[in-house]
Structure 1
Amino acid sequence: MTYHAKVIAGGKIVIPADLRREFGMRDGDTVVLDRLADGGLSIRTFDQVVRDTQRRAREIFGAGYTVDQFIAENRADWGEE
């Protein structure tokens, strides 16, 4: 389904209510705006960005890799054991 919204005074855009409900958006939530390669615009919730970042980190580092391991490895690389 396609949605339309107007940009109003101050550059504000109202996201349609049914989309806000579908994505669990509440007043005061943070959304992340990204420029797309084709010149478009992506709007994602902060939670969506966190989940995507976690998924990509698992792909790169493996599912069992921890922040503590990352810090320890970097300290070792810099001679800060």
Structure 2
Amino acid sequence: MLAVKMSEGGRVVIPAELRDQLQFKQGDQLLMEVKNGALVVTSKAQRVAQMRDEILAAMPPLEAGRSMVDELIAERRAEAAKEEAEAGEWELRNAHLRP
């Protein structure tokens, strides 16, 4: 554990040893939050990678040969066909309202 001193304006220098371990580079955006009373500092890139991993872990595994893109396209086409059918039914029901 390393000790650092807070300077004027709340400035804290992250020691080089920790920056190296965490792969923090000059110009990186760092995210800070309090968890269980401790300050947690993470790079934006690391947090995005963590979120991606969490989302992928929550998704059901894809079966071999299954394409989420093809499934989405098929779903959108089915929705479009349903909307067209509903619009056609509406026109038939309301044809008498046309001048």
Q: TM-score, normalized by length of structure 2?
A: 0.56
Q: Between the two structures, name the one with larger relative contact order (CA 8 Å, sep ≥ 6).
A: 1
* Secondary structure at 2:42 match in 1: strand
Shift of 1:43: 0.9
Counterpart of 1:79 in structure 2 is none
* Distance in 1 separating the partners of 2:5 and 2:61: 42
* Distance in 2 separating the partners of 1:63 and 1:19: 36
- Give the partner amino acid of 1:12: R
Q: Which structure has the greater CA radius of gyration?
A: 2
Aligned residues: 69
Counterpart of 1:25 in structure 2 is 24
* Distance in 2 separating the partners of 1:15 and 1:63: 40
With over 3 angstroms needed to count, the CA separation of the structure-2 counterparts of 1:13 and 1:63, relative to structure 1, is farther
- Which residue, 23, 44, 47 being the options, matches 2:45? 47
* Distance in 2 separating the partners of 1:34 and 1:63: 32
* Distance in 2 separating the partners of 1:39 and 1:63: 36
* Identical residues among aligned pairs (%): 22
Unaligned runs of 5+ in 1: 77-81
Q: TM-score, normalized by length of structure 1?
A: 0.67
Normalized per residue, the structure richer in strand is 1
RMSD value over aligned CA atoms? Answer: 2.6
- Give the partner amino acid of 1:45: S
Normalized per residue, the structure richer in helix is 2
Shift of 1:61: 2.4
